Amino acid sequence: PWYFMEEKYPEFGNLMPRDVVSREMYFVTHESDCEPQVYLDMRGISKEIFQKRLSDLRAELLHYGKPDPEKEPIPVEQGIHYFMGGIDVDVFHQTNLRFLYAAGECCSQYHGANRLGGNSMLGALYGGQVAAKTILKEGESSSLYASEEFSFPQANEESASRPTEYAAKDDTPSTDPEGSRHDEETPQITAKMASLLYESLGIIREEKSMLRALEGLSLLLQEEGLTETDRNRIMLGEAILRSALFRKESRGAHFRSDFPDRDEAFCGLVTAIRKDGKIEIDIRKKREDSKGRTKETKRNET
């Protein structure tokens, strides 16, 4: 067997960042003299460690009829679960729309060009706290929040359970006057979009496949019976594609075979905004500080 991660990265081996491991797995499985299957060999781990730290993993593998990792290598596949990005917010977790805030994994505050373990919890706990404090501060100074519609009741144990109760009761899809469903996706549209993005925004990216995907999304928008959720997802897919096309370099989890090297001209935060029916892309060279937003734009594309 070829322990390629240990050979290519002797210091860290298969403990390299997940995007590096996934990329190397992709390259190896596409070599002409290699089998299209990679295995994880855990046989060097002691029985004591398996019992103390990996017992759940072993039990789950055995439950699904997989090999016993203590006795033989297990088949693994490369994957992408380290996308970064989201709603653009400042240090107070405000968006560019007043009274709209974002925290947690839906916003892009705490990740750089790669994903670090623990940042999701940071975004949820700290980001949620910052957003809540900002909302309360805005509420004190806003006449809008002074209205009865936006009044905040005194929190107690009973009121804290209400959101869950309301969520359980309010499970009826919203509709417009014509009866079109707003909050459900169309499975066929979702499958087509997933296929387009899988082929273009995977571990290895390049211009031709991303341009084909943009054409495919444009055709999807012309299909009949789209729900609001369908349209929003297609719009989000377009924004990601245009951002990836704009960044003509490779950095962190974003790897382009046509631009395999890092280019410091793109060292910044790429933003996408929908304006006049089109998605505009620009790059902010400086992030915000506690005194406000500092923005330096490199160039703009649509």
Rounded to an integer, what distance in angstroms lies between the CA atom of residue 109 and that of residue 105? 9
pLDDT value of residue 140: 74
The more confidently predicted of residues 302 and 226 is: 226
Q: Which of 18, 58, 181, 293 is catalytic?
A: 18
Cα dihedral 132, 174, 239, 79, rounded to 10, equals 80
Give the confidence band of 166 by pLDDT, cuts at 50, 70, 90. very low
Give the confidence band of 215 by pLDDT, cuts at 50, 70, 90. very high
Rounded to an integer, what distance in angstroms lies between the CA atom of residue 21 and that of residue 148? 54
Q: Measured at the alpha carbon of residue 76, what is the angle toward residues 72 and 81, in degrees to the nearest 5?
A: 145
pLDDT value at 42 more than 70:
yes
Rounded to an integer, what distance in angstroms lies between the CA atom of residue 147 and that of residue 13? 60
Best CA proximity match to 298, nearest among 273, 275, 265 = 265
Least confident of 78-82, 125-129, 199-203, 226-230: 78-82
The more confidently predicted of residues 269 and 287 is: 269
Give the confidence band of 19 by pLDDT, cuts at 50, 70, 90. confident
pLDDT value of residue 158: 58
Q: Who contacts 34 (Cβ-Cβ below 8 Å, separation ≥6)?
A: 2, 28
Give the confidence band of 107 by pLDDT, cuts at 50, 70, 90. confident
C-beta separation of 130 from 112 below 8 A: no
- How far CA 222 is from CA of 18, 51, 216, 226, 234, in Å, comes to 37, 55, 10, 9, 11
Give the confidence band of 120 by pLDDT, cuts at 50, 70, 90. confident
pLDDT value of residue 75: 93
H helices of 118-246, in order, are 119-141, 157-160, 162-169, 187-200, 207-221, 228-246
pLDDT value of residue 240: 94
C-beta separation of 203 from 26 below 8 A: yes
- Is residue 287 annotated as part of the catalytic site, yes or no? no
- Domains along the chain with CATH numbers: 4-76 (3.90.700.10), 83-141 (no CATH), 197-302 (1.20.58.100)
Q: What is the DSSP letter of 182?
A: S
pLDDT value at 191 more than 90:
yes
